Amino acid sequence: MADSVAVKPRKAASPPAQGGHRSTQRSRREARAAYLFLAPWFLGLLVITIGPIFASLYLSFTDYSLLQEAKWIGMDNYVRMFTEDPRFIASLKVTTIYVVVSVPLQLAFALALALVLDRGLRGLSFYRSIFYLPSLLGGSVAIAILWRKVFGADGLVNAVLGIFGIEGQGWVGDPDTALGTLILLHVWTFGAPMIIFLAGLRQIPSSYYEAAAVDGAGVLRQFKSITMPLLTPIIFFNLVLEIIKSFQSFTQAFIVSNGKGGPADSTLFYTLYLYLKGFKSYDMGYAAAMAWVLLLIIAALTGVNFLASKYWVFYGDDK
Amino acid sequence: MATTSRRPVPVLFRPLQGGPLVKHVLLIGFGLVMLYPLLWMISSSLKPEELIFREPGLLPSTVTLENYTEGWYALKHPFGYYLWNSAVITALSVVANLVACSLAAYAFARLNFPLKKLWFALMLGTIMLPHHVVLVPQYIMFSELDLINTIWPLVMPKVLATDAFFVFLMVQFIRTLPRELDEAAEIDGAGYWRIYLRVVMPLCLPALATTAIFTFIWTWNDFLSQLLYLNNPDNFTVPVALRTFLDSSSDSSWGPMFAMSILALGPIFGFFLVGQKYLIRGVATTGLK
């Protein structure tokens, strides 16, 4: 992503020697206009983003509850998190399982469907739309409500199982399966990465496949030697994006567990616990510290991802 | 494309080789399984309460609208009130994002100014920033300003172009437009504002459409900020109202809740139908959700 984004070097403003007074005046006018265009964004960067980032760093070293002054307590929040707070550890564990299981599963579905839909299948856009729809709806409260009922004790899944004479259970009410239902919900939204895969597949020239077929390469061989390597940058892009996104999932767990993360903390997502700490117990210093730990985790995961990508992502020979 | 081999081939690999009919049957089957919960919710919302969980099938044996009338009046205000609140916040967010993000994008894509690279890098950095890092201080700030239970905490960030995703999207788009157009307008005596408004923006319509549709869907679906900033039932939006509905209703009133959930999803579905082209292009080019 960073590649396509980098600012292209622009031809430098014409040197003063040639245009003299006029052109410096011009570039000054241009700069002034630019900063005017950017004024709302600058204000936002300062007030909505950078200011709060530093404020939250400061708060993370304090004991603060909105009602009284912030009290400096050094590293206490961070130490407490890892040594005295089993719920924090539980939330880390739940979120990690969620990310580690649901992201690869979701991407596997996305890739498989993209491969099936690739190249001239009739009705492609129809299928693409159908599979994409859940991605748009999946984050909403309404779908989380639906999920809760689909996997409830007297829900749809059990009704269907009943037809086959299998007695189901309350999937969202059982600590062993509740997280599984949320993982399924995430997998259900495979449409967005599928579209990114489709766009990637379309960029592989069909002449590669023709040449390989002439050389006698079978389908599996073509997949292994052409499709996969050329698709690795897209897989990588999807992986980074989905990990970052799923680490911050909130709504589904909140609705399915009535805002509590139950049963037995089995759906206590990291951000849900952060919310409970900061806005239910008003332990805002602690919540800020949790937010910083989240930032560090996400930054570290992304960093590791980029480092590891050297070993499996194929960027072509020219780069 | 290779269709030479006659060997049976796993369906997944080279699409054209698996018989198209088999593939269509599988795809339709899979699509049905995926959409089944949604279809079931629609059909359940039209069934009398007592039938919902006795019939897992899609075709209701009796059709009734009573879930809709009951759900509409189940909370403090009729449900239309919450739909309206959501619509206002969403509309303001869309307009704010369109204006603020396109202003910033024009500057990044077309103008030269000191420290441009630094600002651009910072802008990209904010795309990746987890929202939760700024959540607590933002809440404190808005509560100090006495703006809890107003639309400002929800709309202000959009007015200030903090959805950097869209700035990036538009920068990418503007860069593909020929510069000669700007230059021609400049020779005709147009200033930067005129070029932005009369030359660049009209050509940017596809990027603006993508921005508008995604802002709409994200704001309409957004739960966390609305949960944080709106806690007076008079200000509730659809997601918060649905959540209250869930809290207040017993296990037996799923019908009305399904009915209201359908109403909540309706606008997104509508935008999906109208704006598919922009949605899919947006996802494919930038990885938006």
| Tokens matching residue B89 | 């916040």
Contact B160 A130 (CB under 8 A): no
A148-166 b/e with 16+ CB inside 10 Å = b? bbbbbeebbbbbeeeeeee
Identify the CA nearest to B141 among candidates A284, A272, A72, A48: A48
pLDDT band at A123 (very low <50, low <70, confident <90, very high): confident
Q: Whole-angstrom Cα distance, residue A116 to residue B27?
A: 9
Residue at B217 is within a domain? yes
Tell me which residues of chain B, numbers 224 to 283, contact chain A at a CB-CB cutoff of 8 Å: 224, 227-228, 238-239, 242-243, 246-247, 254, 257-258, 261-262, 264-265, 268-269, 272, 276, 279-280, 283
Handedness of CA A287, A293, A296, A301 (dihedral sign): negative
Fold classified for A86-140+179-312 = MetI-like fold (1.10.3720)
Average pLDDT on A58-85 reads: 93
Domain encompassing residue B205: 79-286
Average pLDDT on A7-21 reads: 47
Q: What domain count does chain B have?
A: 1
The model's pLDDT over A187-233, given as tens digits with 9 standing for 90+, comes to: 999 999 999 999 889 888 889 988 998 998 888 898 899 999 999 99
pLDDT at A166: 86
Q: Is B31 on the interface with A (CB under 8 A)?
A: yes
Q: What is each CA distance from B238 to A141, B90, B263, B264, in whole angstroms?
A: 9, 11, 9, 7
Does A78 or A153 have the greater pLDDT score?
A: A78
Average pLDDT on B232-245 reads: 94
Domain ranges across chain A:
86-140+179-312
pLDDT at B288: 60
Complex ipTM = 0.88
Q: Determine if the peptide bond prior to B256 is cis (ω within 30°).
A: no
- Which regions of A106-161 does DSSP assign to beta strands (E)? none
Q: Quote the minimal CA–CA distance from B270 to chain A in Å.
A: 11
Q: Quote the minimal CA–CA distance from A312 to chain B in Å.
A: 21
Contact B11 A116 (CB under 8 A): yes
Give the CATH number for residue B202: 1.10.3720.10
Average pLDDT on B254-279 reads: 90
pLDDT at B289: 52
pLDDT at B11: 45
Tell me which residues of chain B, numbers 79 to 118, contact chain A at a CB-CB cutoff of 8 Å: 100, 103-104, 106-108, 111-114, 116-117
Residue A168: burial class (beta carbons within 10 Å; 0-12, 13-18, 19+) = middle
The model's pLDDT over B129-171, given as tens digits with 9 standing for 90+, comes to: 999 999 999 999 999 999 999 999 999 999 999 999 899 999 9
CB of A148 closer than 8 Å to CB of A253: no
C-alpha distance across the termini of chain A, in Å:
14
Residue B165 contacts by C-beta under 8 Å, 6 or more apart in sequence?
A: B127, B286, B288
Task: Give the whole-number percent of chain A exceeding pLDDT 70.
Answer: 91
- Residues paired with A86 in a beta bridge: none
Tell me which residues of chain B, numbers 174 to 193, contact chain A at a CB-CB cutoff of 8 Å: 175, 191-193
